[in-house]
Structure formats: structure tokens, C-alpha cells
């Protein structure tokens, strides 16, 4: 391919130069003719004859010929007129063959001639033989051939080096991938810093490996946590059934054992469903987002929880900015808010406060804030509690599974937002907790067609 | 009423059959989608219960084909996949209700009954009555024994749902889904508190209670 291009270029340069040389030769011949024609006009045949004799004798690329009106040679380089019929007054440009004596050999040549009849009939011809053009072309061919040869040699060497280098890097990639496949997820491929395709590929591979490691790590952590959260109640369940079976049959005790076993099973199922939902959120499932008005969701959810809050002796209030819109899945956002409210109500003691508010943030995003006056979470543990399955030891005894916050965090992440934990409402020395679900604001709604 | 159960898991099938028969229904069963569709096409059933994933033909496809063939028997779809978008898919295919596995027996029975009652309504209803409790759906007013009862919009919808299913057990999950359109499981007893507020408004000043708690399952409005 490269070779074809070089050759094509070569021929192009050659022909365009050749045409250029030929054109210049023609111009030189025409100029000389015009010069001599004006010498004839001013000085007559004598002057012209003189000029032709002088010029023919001089060294130069041009040949001259002057003949009388009948075609007999008067002066110049040629011994006979070319075999050419002159018609009209205008001089003509043509090629003609002739022979030249070089030493004792005759040589066939061809020349480019410009011949015409001057006033009162004498014939003047200026010609330029093709030797000049051919020599120029030969010089050029020579130079070009060298250039092309060197270029080809270089490209072959460069190609071999590049191919060898590329092969080495691909080999390195393959080696790394093999190690990763063998289970070593910490491997990364080398980036040289040339920013070439291989570097870009290497960077992408590394990004992929980082993500892969994170995912596998998260899966492993989740697996451990599921194992823990499910194994404990399952073990308890098995123990209960075993105990009941070992006791002598007693209808009331058996019914009671069965009821407890059922409750335990329900808990396991609940945990399992939460785990499953989390897994689905984290999997790359496609969610169709639409414009979601926050205040509608928040107002409905607060209305939904308000009676329960009142029954629990909590003051649930709402402070909503209107017109806040996010791109998202309304059901997921609603569920995240419900989880936050569940949490706030679960951990806030009687007589406390829970406040839900929405606001536009200074960073251009919007937030749903659920603040309570409960015991709060110390700053050093705030990151920890967002992780899956983590529940602070203090709360281990409360019902429910420690998946609430991790689900909210997963919903936030899915929407390109985040969950932040901050200090909440202070009341009687408590720190309180504010869970802030930050979501990207939806772009302004498209306007309808202008009328 | 006659119920057709199409379910390939023998244990679940047996459980469904026994639960529905105990509740006084006549039950036929099919093991695969194609047999189920043929049987359902007879239209001799009052309610159809389909599993979503069936051998030979999926529950969802059966419902779609039945609906386009003009069979309007109410369908309850059962599925281990109870995610929101799958639920929506099932309902779009023409199912009338969707229940995730595993489910409580009471939940199943309540939903099957609700489907059957829902079908019998001829034309739009403008008045509902249970005992001396009356609801005017156009004026959006509620009276009991001639006395006007003021309800919040959501309380009105809650009562409307209960009145439309008067005499049947209505579960908390059903209320959550049908009255609030929420598909998650609140950890707190939110529904119970809403019910007790409603109960305070419609029952407290009257001698006979209408809104009954069915232990372990849900609620029933009954005169």
C-alpha cells in the first residue's frame, strides 16, 4: 500500500516536471524567434543573417536555421529544411526528426522546432533538441529513485521495529490478562505515556480492571454479608425446629414453635428480597428515567408517614421548594425517601422531630434532606454505615435489616448523585442525623414549538 | 367460584389448590402454558391464576393471546420476579393483578376474591353502601347514619377501596399498592395507623363497628 503510494507520487512528480520542462523549452524557442524576428524588422535580412550566424556558432541549447523564400539554406545549424509544409503566416511549433554527425557516427535525434515565414518570405526556424529535456528527466529520475529507495528502506525498517514493539506490548497485555483470568485481579497493564493507541488501550484495560476488581470485591463483601445475615436467622430457625422435635409432642408448644419458625422465615425472606433488589440496582440494568417533580413525591410520602409519626410521638414536618425536578425513576426515589423516613422514625426517640426538606444546592444539584433529632451517627462512622449490611452495634437489637441506607446510596448512585450524612436536628444534647440524598437536577424542559 | 391454576411447580400447585379449595372455590390445574391456555379459552372460569414462567408458553404471552382472543376473565399473575418493571410488563400484557412469590395464603385468597368482585361491576358506580355507611363518588361525600363524615382525599380513597371490596379481606400490601401505588415494604406500621385514623372517623361514634381487623392478614369492611 505504502509502496503503491510512493510509486504513484513518483510518477506524478516525474510527469509534472517533464511537462514543465517541455513547456519552458517551448517558451525559450518562441522568445528567441520573436527576438530574431524583430532584429529582421529593424535590420533586414543582413542583420538577421548576422545574428543567426553568431548565435548558431555560440554554445547553447538552441539551433538556428535561416532559409530564403524558396527554401534554400542561408545560414544555421541545419543542412536542409525539415519536411514540413508552411501554411499561412503564423509560425508553427512541431517536432521533427533529424540526424546529427557525432565523430564518425550518425545519431538519430528529435527536436522541437518553431518555424515561420518572415515578411517578404525568408524562413526562420529556431529549434531545441530533446536531449536537454531527456537529460533533465534522467537527472530527476535518478534523484527520485534514490529518494524512493531510501523512503522504502526506512519504512520497512520502521515497520519491522513498530511491529516488533506492538507485538511485545500485545504480548504483555495478554500475559497480564492471563494473570487476571487466573484470579489475580490486582494486575494492571503498563502505560508508557506516549498516548498512542496502545496506551489508550492500556488505560482502558486498566480502568476496566479497576472496575472489575471493585465489582468482585463488592460481590465478595455482599456475599459475606448475605451469608452472615441469612445464616444467623437460618441457624436459629433450624435450632427451633430441632428443639421442638426433641420435645415430647405438645400441641400448644408445637404451634408456638411453628409460628416462631414462620416469623423467622419471613425475616429471612425480607432480607433476601432487599439483597436481591440491591443487586439489581447495582447490576447494569437499563432504567428509563423521566422528569420527576420532587415536591410531589415528598409531599405524598410525608402525608403517608405522618399518621405513623404522630402515633410514635414524633413531629414530622416538611419544607419543600417547589419546581425542583430531577431525571430519575419516581418509584426508586420514593422508595429511597421511604427508607430514610423509616430509618429516621426508627431511631428517633419519642418526643423527637423529623424534618423533610428539598432544596436547590449551590453546586447546581438538588437535595432531599431527612433530618432527625435522634442519637445521630459519629462522623467517623458515617461512611461505614452506607456500606451494605452494616448496622451500628448500638442498633443491632432493633428490628429491620441494615440495608436501608445502602439501598438509598445505590439509588443515589444509579441517578448519578450521592448520599451524604450530616448532623441533624439538635434536641436535648443529641447530634441528630441528616441523611441528604443529592440528585442531579433535570435539564430545563424543552419548550413546545414557537408559534 | 371456578378457578384455573396454571403452575408447573408441583408443590406450589398443590399449595394453591388446597388454599383455594379451603376457601370454597372449585379448582382446576394445568402444568404447562399451552394446556393452560386451551383450558382458559373455555371461559368457564371466574378467575385465572398464571405463573409467569411456564413450560411451553410463558404466562405473559398466554394473557396477551387470551385478551386479543376476547377472553376477559380476570387474571392473577404469580412470579418470583416481582420487580416493578416486570409487574408493569405483566399488567400491560393484560393481567389484572400481580403477586410476587413467595406469598402468604391470605394475600393470595384476598387478591383472587378482589379480582372476582371487581369483574362483576356493570358500568360506573356512583354510590357505594355498606350497612349505614354511604359514599357518593360524584359529590365525594361520606355519610354514616345520616351524619356527614369529613375525610382527607387519601382517607376517601382508602375507604372507597375498602367499600368496593366490602366483605372481603384486604391485605396491607393490597392497600399499599392500590391506594397509594407504592411497591415497597415500609418497615413501620404505616398502614395500620392510617386504618386506625379512618376507623376513628367512621366507627368511633357508632354502636356497630364496620372496619374489622383480620388477625395476621389485614382488614375487612363489613356491616
Mean pLDDT of chain B: 84
pTM equals 0.59
Strand order from edge to edge, sheet including A418-423: A315-319, A353-360, A366-372, A433-439, A418-423
Of the candidates B83, B102, B183, which has its C-beta nearest A280's C-beta? B83
* Pairing mode, strands B141-144 and B133-136: antiparallel
Phi, psi of A76, deg, nearest 5 = 125, -170
As a whole number of angstroms, the distance between CA A389 and CA B221 comes to 40
Q: What are phi and psi of B76, to 5 degrees?
A: -110, 120
Please tell me the predicted confidence (pLDDT) of residue B83.
Answer: 66
Per-residue pLDDT at A397? 39
Instruction: Band the pLDDT of A88: cuts 50, 70, 90.
Output: low
Chain A: closest CA distance from residue B149 (Å): 19
Q: Which set of grid coordinates corresponds to residue A423? A: 448532623
Strand order, beta sheet including B147-149: B127-130, B133-136, B141-144, B147-149
CA distance B93 to chain A (A): 19
Are A345 and B83 an interchain contact pair (Cβ–Cβ within 8 Å)?
A: no
Give the mean pLDDT of A2-15. 78
B194:A307 CB<8 A:
yes
| Highest mean predicted confidence (pLDDT) among A106-115, A140-149, B159-168 | B159-168
- The residues on A that touch B, with CB distances below 8 Å, are 269-270, 273, 277, 280, 300, 303-305, 307-308, 310-312, 331, 334-335, 338-339, 342, 345-346, 399-400, 404
Residue B186: is its pLDDT beyond 70? yes
In contact, A446 and A371? CB cutoff 8 Å: no
Decide if A358 contacts A324 (C-beta within 8 A).
yes
Query: In the prediction, which pLDDT does A244 show?
Result: 84
Decide if A307 and B187 are in contact by the 8 Å CB cutoff.
no
**Grid cell listed for A197:** 493507541
Q: Which of A133, A69, A41 is nearest to A95 (CA)?
A: A133
Q: Nearest CA to A399 among A345, A337, A331, A335?
A: A345
DSSP single-letter state for residue A441: B
Cβ within 8 Å, pair A345-B188:
yes
- Chain A residue numbers touching B180 (CB-CB < 8 A): 300, 304
d(CA B223, CA B205): 15
The verdict on a CB contact (< 8 Å) between A334 and B182 is yes
**Hey, how many other C-beta atoms are within 10 angstroms of the C-beta on A178?**
11
* Residue A368 to residue A45: CA distance in whole angstroms: 110
Residue B175, pLDDT > 50, answer yes
Most A CBs within 10 A among B185, B186, B195, B216, hence the mutation to make, goes to: B186
pLDDT above 60 (res A395): no
pLDDT at B81 over 80: no
Residue B144 C-alpha, separation from nearest chain A C-alpha, in angstroms: 23
Query: Does the pLDDT of residue A375 top 50, yes or no?
Result: yes
Residue with cell 406500621: B189
Contact A307 B190 (CB under 8 A): yes
Q: How far is A450 from chain B (nearest CA, A)?
A: 35
Read off the pLDDT of each residue in A254-277 and give the average, rounded to a whole number. 80
Beta strands in A211-348 (DSSP E): 290-293, 315-319, 325-328
- Which chain A residue's Cα is nearest to B179? A304
* Choice between A110 and A181, residue whose per-residue pLDDT is larger: A181
Per-residue confidence (pLDDT) for residue B207, from 0 to 100:
83
Whether the per-residue pLDDT at A396 is higher than 60: the answer is no
CB B7 within 8 A of CB B49: yes
Q: What is the mean pLDDT of residues A212-241?
A: 77
For residue B12, give the DSSP letter. H
Contact A8, A144 (CB under 8 A): no
Phi/psi of residue A183, each to 5°? Answer: 120, -5
Binding-site residues on chain B for chain A (CB distance < 8 A):
83-84, 102, 154, 180, 182-190, 193-194, 196-197
Q: pLDDT tens digits, residue range A121-157?
A: 788 888 887 776 677 778 878 888 888 888 889 988 9
| Per-residue model confidence (pLDDT) at position B43 | 66
- Compute the nearest-CA separation of B209 from chain A (Å): 21
pLDDT value of residue A115: 83
CB–CB of A395/A347 below 8 Å? yes
Hey, how many other C-beta atoms are within 10 angstroms of the C-beta on A324? 20
Q: Which residues contact A406 (CB under 8 A, 6 or more apart)?
A: A278, A386, A387, A388, A389, A390
Query: How far is it, in rounded angstroms, from Cα B83 to Cα A138?
Result: 82
Per the structure block, which three cell numbers stand in for A49? 543573417
What is the structure's pLDDT at A394? 42
Least Cα distance to A136 among A12, A59, A7, A22 occurs for A22
| C-alpha to C-alpha distance for A94 and A114, rounded to whole angstroms | 7
Check whether B76 has a pLDDT greater than 60: yes
Q: What percent of chain A has pLDDT over 70?
A: 89
The CA distance from B29 to A77, in Å, is: 120
Question: CA A208, CA A214: separation in Å to the nearest integer?
Answer: 10
Burial of residue A183, with CB atoms counted within 10 A of its CB: 0-12 exposed, 13-18 middle, 19 or more buried? exposed
The DSSP element (H or E) to which A435 belongs, if any, is strand A433-439
Are A305 and B188 an interchain contact pair (Cβ–Cβ within 8 Å)?
yes
SS3 A183: coil
Over range B156-183, report the average pLDDT: 88
* DSSP string for A219-248: HHHHHHHHHHHHHHHHHHHHHHHHHHHHSP
Interface test with A, best of B190, B198, B201, B216 (most A CBs within 10 A): B190
A356 has pLDDT over 90: yes
For the ranges A100-104, B8-12, B155-159, B213-217, the one whose mean pLDDT is highest:
B155-159
Largest CA distance in chain B: 58
pLDDT for A110: 77
Q: Check if the beta carbon of residue B112 is closer than 8 Å to that of residue B47.
A: yes
Upper half-sphere CA count for residue B195 (Cβ side, 13 Å): 20
**Beta carbons of B182 and A304 less than 8 angstroms apart:** yes
Pick from B116, B95, B17: nearest CA to B52: B95
Closest Cα of chain B to A332: distance in Å? 9
Rounded average pLDDT over B100-117: 83
The predicted pLDDT at position A298 comes to 92
Amino acid at each position: 500500500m505504502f509502496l503503491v503510494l510512493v510509486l504513484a507520487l513518483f510518477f506524478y512528480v516525474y510527469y509534472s516536471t517533464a511537462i514543465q520542462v517541455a513547456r519552458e523549452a517551448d517558451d525559450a524557442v518562441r522568445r528567441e524567434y520573436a527576438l530574431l524576428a524583430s532584429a529582421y524588422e529593424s535590420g533586414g535580412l543582413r542583420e538577421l543573417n548576422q545574428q543567426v550566424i553568431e548565435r548558431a556558432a555560440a554554445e547553447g541549447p538552441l539551433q538556428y536555421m535561416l532559409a530564403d523564400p524558396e527554401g534554400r539554406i542561408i545560414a544555421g545549424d541545419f543542412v536542409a529544411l525539415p519536411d514540413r509544409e508552411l501554411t499561412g503566416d503564423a509560425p508553427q511549433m512541431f517536432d521533427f526528426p533529424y540526424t546529427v554527425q557525432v565523430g564518425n557516427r550518425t545519431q538519430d535525434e528529435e527536436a522541437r522546432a518553431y518555424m515561420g515565414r518572415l515578411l517578404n518570405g525568408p524562413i526562420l526556424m529556431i529549434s531545441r533538441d530533446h536531449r536537454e529535456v531527456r537529460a533533465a528527466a534522467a537527472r530527476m529520475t535518478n534523484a527520485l529513485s534514490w529518494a524512493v529507495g531510501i523512503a522504502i528502506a526506512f519504512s520497512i525498517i520502521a515497520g519491522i521495529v513498530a511491529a516488533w514493539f506492538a507485538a511485545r506490548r500485545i504480548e504483555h497485555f495478554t500475559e497480564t490478562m492471563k494473570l487476571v483470568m487466573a484470579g489475580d485481579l490486582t494486575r494492571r497493564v503498563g502505560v508508557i505515556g506516549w498516548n498512542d493507541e496502545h496506551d489508550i488501550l492500556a488505560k482502558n484495560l486498566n480502568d476496566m480492571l479497576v472496575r472489575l476488581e471493585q465489582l468482585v470485591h463488592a460481590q465478595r463483601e455482599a456475599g459475606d454479608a448475605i451469608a452472615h445475615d441469612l445464616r444467623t436467622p437460618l441457624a436459629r430457625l433450624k435450632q427451633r425446629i430441632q428443639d421442638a422435635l426433641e420435645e415430647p409432642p405438645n400441641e400448644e408448644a408445637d404451634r408456638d414453635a411453628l409460628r416462631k419458625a414462620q416469623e423467622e422465615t419471613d425475616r429471612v425472606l425480607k432480607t433476601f428480597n432487599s439483597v436481591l433488589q440491591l443487586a439489581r440496582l447495582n447490576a447494569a440494568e437499563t432504567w428509563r428515567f423521566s422528569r420527576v417533580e420532587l415536591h410531589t413525591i415528598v409531599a405524598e410520602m410525608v402525608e403517608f408517614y405522618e399518621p405513623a409519626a404522630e402515633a410514635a410521638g414524633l413531629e414530622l414536618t416538611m419544607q419543600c421548594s417547589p419546581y425542583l425536578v430531577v431525571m430519575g425513576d419516581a418509584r426508586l426515589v420514593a422508595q429511597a425517601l421511604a427508607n430514610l423516613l423509616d430509618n429516621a422514625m426508627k431511631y428517633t426517640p419519642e418526643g423527637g422531630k423529623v424534618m423533610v426538606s428539598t432544596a436547590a444546592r449551590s453546586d447546581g444539584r438538588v437535595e432531599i434532606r431527612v433530618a432527625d433529632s435522634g442519637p445521630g451517627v459519629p462522623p467517623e462512622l458515617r461512611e461505614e454505615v452506607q456500606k451494605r449490611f452494616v448496622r451500628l452495634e448500638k442498633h443491632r437489637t432493633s428490628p429491620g435489616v441494615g440495608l436501608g441506607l445502602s439501598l438509598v446510596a445505590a439509588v443515589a448512585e444509579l441517578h448519578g448523585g450521592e448520599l451524604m450524612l450530616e448532623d441533624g436536628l439538635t434536641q436535648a444534647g443529641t447530634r441528630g442525623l441528616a441523611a441528604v440524598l443529592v440528585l442531579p437536577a433535570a435539564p430545563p424542559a424543552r419548550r413546545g414549538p414557537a408559534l | 367460584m371456578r378457578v384455573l391454576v396454571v403452575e408447573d411447580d408441583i408443590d406450589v400447585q398443590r399449595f394453591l389448590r388446597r388454599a383455594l379449595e379451603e376457601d370454597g372455590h372449585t379448582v382446576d390445574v394445568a402444568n404447562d402454558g399451552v394446556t393452560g391456555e386451551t383450558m382458559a379459552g373455555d371461559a368457564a372460569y371466574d378467575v385465572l391464576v398464571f405463573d409467569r414462567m411456564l413450560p411451553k408458553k410463558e404466562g405473559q404471552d398466554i394473557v396477551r393471546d387470551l385478551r386479543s382472543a376476547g377472553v376477559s376473565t380476570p387474571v392473577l399473575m404469580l412470579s418470583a420476579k416481582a420487580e416493578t418493571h416486570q409487574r408493569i410488563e405483566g399488567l400491560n400484557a393484560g393481567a389484572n393483578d400481580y403477586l410476587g412469590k413467595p406469598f402468604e395464603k391470605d394475600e393470595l385468597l384476598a387478591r383472587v376474591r378482589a379480582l372476582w368482585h371487581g369483574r362483576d361491576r356493570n358500568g360506573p358506580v356512583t354510590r357505594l353502601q355498606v350497612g349505614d355507611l354511604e359514599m357518593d363518588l360524584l359529590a365525594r361525600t361520606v355519610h354514616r347514619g345520616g351524619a356527614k363524615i369529613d375525610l382527607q382525599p387519601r382517607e376517601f380513597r382508602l375507604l372507597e377501596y375498602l367499600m368496593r371490596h366490602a366483605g372481603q379481606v384486604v391485605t396491607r400490601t393490597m392497600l399499599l399498592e392500590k391506594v397509594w401505588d407504592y411497591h415497597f415494604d415500609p418497615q413501620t406500621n404505616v398502614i395500620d395507623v392510617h386504618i386506625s385514623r379512618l376507623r376513628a372517623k367512621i366507627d368511633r361514634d357508632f354502636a356497630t363497628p364496620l372496619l374489622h381487623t383480620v388477625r395476621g392478614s389485614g382488614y375487612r369492611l363489613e356491616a
